[in-house]
A and B are shown apart, each in its own frame.
Chain A
Amino acid sequence: MSDGPLIVQSDKTVLLEVDHELATEARHAIAAFAELERAPEHVHSYRLTPLGLWNARAAGLDAEQVLDTLLKYSRFPVPHALLIDIADTMSRYGRLRLEQDPQHGLVLRTTDYPVLEEVSRAKKIAPLLGPRIDGETVVVHSSQRGQLKQLLLKIGWPAEDLAGYVDGTPHPIMLNETGWKLRPYQQLAADNFRAGGSGVVVLPCGAGKTLVGAAAMAASSTTTLILVTNTVSARQWKDELLKRTSLTAEEIGEYSGSVKEVRPVTIATYQVITTRRGGIYPHLELVDGNDWGLIIYDEVHLLPAPIFRMTADLQARRRLGLTATLVREDGREGEVFSLIGPKRYDAPWKDIEAQGYIAPADCVEVRVELPGDERMAYAMADDADKYRLCATSDSKTTVVEQLVAQHRGEQLLVIGQYIDQLDEIGERLQAPVIKGNTSVKVRQQLFAAFRAGEVQTLVVSKVANFSIDLPEASVAIQVSGSFGSRQEEAQRLGRLLRPKKDGRAARFYSLVARDTLDQEFAARRQRFLAEQGYAYRILDAGDLPAEHVEG
């Protein structure tokens, strides 16, 4: 314990001093069992959770290695109670194993008889188990594999899943690496996933998650189902796959509201899968009825509840989750991990930025003063209306105009929550507005025009929050958001992070009404990015022109 880069806290967090010479080495060593929680500029913090420790066990690490790593890199004595806790927690993993028995099919086996007794008596687990074969083995209904794993995790006896995966229908897929190469971190992410079988890959927006998906498909070379958030995104996936792999247009099907094609590689939207008619999900058959070798969940942080349930039944198929921001305001991150799989790769945004694969970003919070009459209206408004009132202040529109004028010549997005406000801004800026009722066709046209530089300013609602690839956008102005959503803020910044041709930094403005709820929500929204190391500068609207003469 001389001078390592880690400080192990008794509250189960681990601090990593980034500027330390051993920082990179230590980071790699602890990444296997600790979860990155915050990554601001100087000290990153990791958390030791039972889930993380069990994932480490699943990856072949034992408690002794974990303790050795902590003791080796720790600057100060490591709290002893924590060491004991880690050893205890890790020893719980693997006492229950899910195995494929040649005679009985899927079985739950234990090396520790009382544990099996305990879990088989748990009220929620008992119905998932079949007949007892002997003291140490019990049959599991194979359709309950996912749910059983999830419930076992909840009561603290995670099962080691040795039952393996189905192979799926083979279908040759190859990467077509002409003129580009898989980046090292993409390769690593795909390899980690392949080694683990199932899991989630977390990469910043614009870092090329699609290519990780493509690499995973190539590695598995089976029929693949890709689940995405919306149709525009589905088309982007298709284009990207056509460009980067050996797949042809005939091999890729789209399964959405308008088209229902089932091909060796099928891209479906969450919406169509979860469409419910007469109490049943008519399109679930797409998932169940085909022998997919791989299922890719795009933007896994958005998984709707029915997909969670459905995924529980798909435990025998390889699953890959892709996301930039694994934070859910409903706190169901844990379920994502238990159903899709543990985190296989996670990189702080600033790391990828430092490698030059995403554009650096300059985030500015502009504080707007509400005019006197709006302040009165705000003060007297009902709580339910307050946020809307302050977020859609007229003074913001003026500031937007000012900023747009400053950045003339750059590709610019104005993003907001409230349609009235966006319409008004669109009118004032003479710019097209894309919102929920804009048809897919018009959307695609407008995005294409924007990419080509024909349209320089776009006003968009939350429909453009995710999965919309606009490589040329370099300035975004956020006028309002959905309350305190951390991942929305991150995703919106993500629209700007494709590297620019001239290496320019992207600029992200967030307009905030001073001394109102807006300011509170803004602080909450920024937390994810702040933890990823993005620092917001704060400016008063009054100081704007002087500051940005250079544009």
Chain B
Amino acid sequence: MSMIQALGQELSARSDDSLRELFAARPDLMAPAAHDFSTLAARASARVSVQRALERLSRPEMQVLETLHLCTNTDTGHSASVAGLRKLISGSTLVALEPLLANLQALALIHRAEPPHGTVAGRQKFYLPVASLKDVLGIYPAGLGRSYTELVRLQPSFAQHAVDLVSELRSAGQDLHAATTPMEAALALQQWTASPAALQRILADAPDRTPALLAKFGHWAMGAVPKAQRKTSLAQSSPAGPVDWLLARGLLVPLDASHVELPHSVGLALRGGAIITDFSLHPPRPQLGTTSAMLRRNAALGSVAETLRLIGELLGSIQRHPLTTLRSGGVGVRELKRLADSLRLDTAKTAVLAEIAALAGLLRLDVDSSSWIQPPDLEWLALPRQEQWLWLVTAWLTSERVPSLVGQPVAGHVTADVSRATGGQVNVLSAEAQRPDAPLVRRRILEVLLELSTEADPGDGTAPVVDAAAVMERAEWSQPRMSRRFSSLIRGVLAEAELLGLVGSGALSQLGSAVATDRHQDALALLGNHLPAEVEHVLLQADLTAIAPGYLAPRIAATLLLMSDAEGQGPATTFRFSATTIRRALDSGLDATAILGFLQENSATAVPQPLEYLIADTASRHGQVKVGPAASFIQSSDEGALERILAAAPAAGIHVVQLAPTVLVSTTAPREVARALRDMGVSPAVDDAQPALLRVRRSIAAPGSVRPVYSPPGAPPPDGEITAQIALLRGEAATVHGGPGQPSLDSASEAAPHLGLESLAQAIRLGRAVIMNVVDSAGNESSERVVPLSAGGGRVRVHDPARDTERVISVHRIIDVQATEEHDL
């Protein structure tokens, strides 16, 4: 029976609760809703789905699965029992293995199977993994290499060499079977190295450093050595190095010029006959340092306040000067430097802040000017600080952007041109800093942090310091298949978490644990209690500075920034007044009285005389040169004539203002004015050699930003959907869809192609012939008996035994595939 059919039957026999569990753990199985169990089984066996399911498995679960894979054969139906697994996993017990197997079965990654031929089942349970597991696990499951027979089949250079190798070993007195074909040689080698004791005997006279070298292959069967295909022989006069020694005996097999592989049987013998040697149900407990709760809170609150302040400053700076983008996307280094200078920060920190502001929707790309601007009416600016914080945190958790990727080399980017050394870096706010799995990784990292902190909580008021290495170690244990994705993001995520106050002084803060457990409102309340209140006054000093001793109320800060420049970096801000800044305030429409009034009102101290003098002095000289709009001018040395024009202008329908005795200006265009003047009887000369350039910028009206909403990534689908899916499978929704609830194999079912491909793949592996129904280009159906050789890229290469030729058939022309029972070739 097909594996998929077997799985389909098992699934249909499950209870609703068990299905519910399956859908919660593997939501991709019900997207879109599956109509019958064979479809479901086909989906559950599909490579991508299995890959996703494996990402959720912990190390012991993976170890059991890998061992099961290695000791079973899905093509022949050779299954394995728990007792068999226990022998191969050293340190395991039946009690430990059974729940793991049950869980794997619940996830539809393995299913119950008939015992192998010639075995009495008794009360034992036998299992087989899903067929596609082979492709998903890769060529080195559990880090063990391929067998000699496989290597002979796949490595032509080794195959050529294998027979000679065996005879050389025999003549050197080793106990091997004689071989005349490569396959026989492979079997002889396999037998020679089959048991730990045999291998020990072989290795007895190996060079000194051999065990150390072999230990390096303990976790992965492939290794890099220089000149892997070197000439080696048993009869070497000079003492051989360990690599030469092993290569000469076929204990390492060269793959290409620089890689070698440790064959399966050698690897297994080295592990003492067990596939898994480091089995443990309990994760390793890292040694963590501690920090005091006071320091942790200090650091967390400090960085929350600092980040909010800096984001506010960044928004202010961008509002004044939008960030222009490069043609290739993202913001250029020079533009970033300008922003960093205006914030008095380094570019790396500025980049992270800009990314956070953008992912929170506080910056928006304006398509017309292709620059990043602050959206109008930004709600964020008016929120209390704790809510501003929550906005940032929520956005960060859900965003696919990864600020820490900025400045890193672009993935897969190879710069051949050396002169463009910086060409391959990810720019700020560019598309390259995007990772679809970022929300999931952040979520997991927070969970791991929480897990480790809770486990290690010394309970004496100190907090455990969790570093990236400890998080990585735990992530590798709890989700080994995900850990590679973790490792590239973890440092960035931890740094950003520190910036947002989720981590303080290296330990998960109270805010962080509230966020990790989705208690956002608690975090909000906590922060609200601990953030210092905003100050409503500044201290004015005679050295022309104003000091805000704390977080200054935004309305005061905004006006104060008009008339002074901010200095310094930290909770308090120093504002420095100078003639330039006062002039700026005057330019913005304030007058001396208003400036003084504002300062008096918002200062806790009297306005010092020098400041008062500065304001009065600057104001008295402000506006000596005026600028205003005009479309045309009328100039004449005859003052009387201009007087007359001024008097007659309203009647002529033009608006004229006198600037000086000899100059009038008008808002009407020069030609209009000239015509009106001619009508008055004046004969003007029109001087339009240098037409005035008047550019009026369109005001930018764009939608404001929306407060981000958090939904945890990787969460199970809602209960309702699962219930509907189960109802559909059980045929309870038959009235709606009209489909039967039994596993069926009609060609309309989604499972059919999977089944076809499954038999094809099985036939390829076993070298069996199949009956294939194929449509030719004219639309004629024909049934052929062929031996498939390989499949990939939408094509199948087949051997036609009737004509003894090879052909390539497109997969879409194949209607169905039936396996033949007889063996061929």
Contact = CB atoms under 8 A, between A and B. Distances in A.
Interface of A: 1, 7-11, 13, 15, 17, 38, 40-43, 71, 75-80, 83, 527, 530-531, 533-538
Interface stretch (B70-78, B540-548, B734-742, B805-813): B540-548
B570 A79 contact: yes
B570 A9 contact: yes
17 contacts: A7-B570, A10-B306, A15-B549, A40-B541, A41-B541, A41-B605, A42-B547, A71-B298, A75-B532, A76-B302, A77-B297, A80-B505, A527-B543, A530-B544, A531-B543, A535-B610, A538-B613
A11 B568 contact: yes
A142 B543 CA distance: 47
Nearest to B547: A43
Given A7-B571, A42-B539, A535-B542, A15 B547 contact: yes
A77 B344 contact: no
Contacts of B547: 15, 42-43
Interface string B385-417: 000000000000000000000000000000000
A516 B549 CA distance: 35
Nearest to A514: B617
B572 A536 contact: no
Q: Which of B298, B300, B303, B505 has the most CB of A within 10 A?
A: B298
Contacts of B544: 530
Contacts of B608: 535
A43 B549 contact: yes
Interface in B297-335: 297-303, 305-306
A500 B572 CA distance: 40
Interface string B10-31: 0000000000000000000000
Interface in B447-498: 498
B609 interface: yes
A398 to B, nearest CB: 21
Contact of B302 (A79, A534, A535): A79
A80 B303 contact: yes
Contact of B542 (A10, A13, A80, A530): A530
A9 B605 CA distance: 22
Contacts of B545: 40
A531 B302 CA distance: 28
A204 B539 CA distance: 26
Contact of B609 (A75, A533, A538): A538
Contacts of B570: 7-11, 13, 79
B766 interface: no
A7 B572 contact: yes
A41 B606 CA distance: 11
Contacts of B306: 10, 79
Interface string B516-557: 000000000000000010000001111111010110000000
Q: Which of B302, B549, B613 has the most CB of A within 10 A?
A: B302
A77 B299 contact: yes
B301 A71 contact: no
A531 B544 CA distance: 10
A75 B302 contact: no
B294 interface: yes
B157 to A, nearest CB: 48
Contacts of A533: 542
Contacts of B782: none
A78 B298 contact: yes
Contacts of A77: 297-302, 305, 571
Contacts of B344: 11
Contacts of A11: 344, 568-570
A76 B305 contact: yes
Interface residues of B, number: 38
Q: Which 8 A-B pairs have the closest CB atoms?
A: A9-B570, A535-B542, A77-B302, A80-B299, A11-B569, A530-B543, A76-B571, A538-B613
A77 B531 CA distance: 9
Interface of B: 294-295, 297-303, 305-306, 344, 498, 504-505, 532, 539-545, 547, 549-550, 568-572, 605, 608-610, 613-614, 617
B542 A78 contact: no
Contacts of B498: 80
B609 A537 contact: yes
B292 to A, nearest CB: 10
A80 B571 CA distance: 13
A38 B574 CA distance: 12
B699 to A, nearest CB: 37
B569 A76 contact: no
B307 to A, nearest CB: 11
Nearest to A70: B298
Contacts of B609: 535, 537-538
Given A76-B305, A530-B543, A536-B542, A9 B550 contact: no
Nearest to B498: A80
A11 B309 CA distance: 14
Given A9-B568, A9-B572, A11-B569, A1 B542 contact: no
B329 to A, nearest CB: 32
Contacts of B504: 80
Nearest to A533: B542
Contacts of A538: 609-610, 613-614, 617
A286 B296 CA distance: 59
Contacts of B549: 7, 15, 17, 43, 75
B298 A75 contact: no
A534 B608 CA distance: 12
Given A7-B549, A10-B570, A76-B571, 5 more contacts: A42-B541, A71-B295, A75-B550, A76-B305, A535-B608
A536 B300 CA distance: 42
B294 A9 contact: no
Contacts of B542: 40-41, 530, 533-536
Nearest to A536: B610
A10 B346 CA distance: 13
B568 A80 contact: no
Contact of B568 (A13, A71, A83): A13
A530 B610 CA distance: 11
B298 A9 contact: no
A17 B301 CA distance: 22
A13 B541 CA distance: 18
Contacts of B541: 40-43
B302 A78 contact: yes
A1 B544 CA distance: 29
Q: Which of A9, A76, A527 has the most CB of B within 10 A?
A: A76
A280 B689 CA distance: 74
A414 B568 CA distance: 39
Nearest to B542: A535
Contacts of A15: 547, 549, 572
Contacts of A71: 294-295, 298
Q: Which of A8, A71, A79, A530 has the most CB of B within 10 A?
A: A79
Contact of A40 (B298, B303, B543, B568): B543
B567 to A, nearest CB: 9
Contacts of A527: 543
B108 to A, nearest CB: 48
A76 B613 contact: no
B446 to A, nearest CB: 19
A9 B302 CA distance: 10
Contact of A38 (B298, B505, B543, B613): B543
Given A42-B605, A538-B609, A538-B613, A1 B543 contact: no
Contacts of A536: 542, 610
Given A40-B541, A537-B609, A1 B298 contact: yes
B460 to A, nearest CB: 18
Contacts of A534: 542
A537 B545 CA distance: 15
Given A77-B305, A537-B609, A9 B539 contact: no
Nearest to B612: A538
A71 B498 CA distance: 19
A498 to B, nearest CB: 24
A302 B614 CA distance: 34
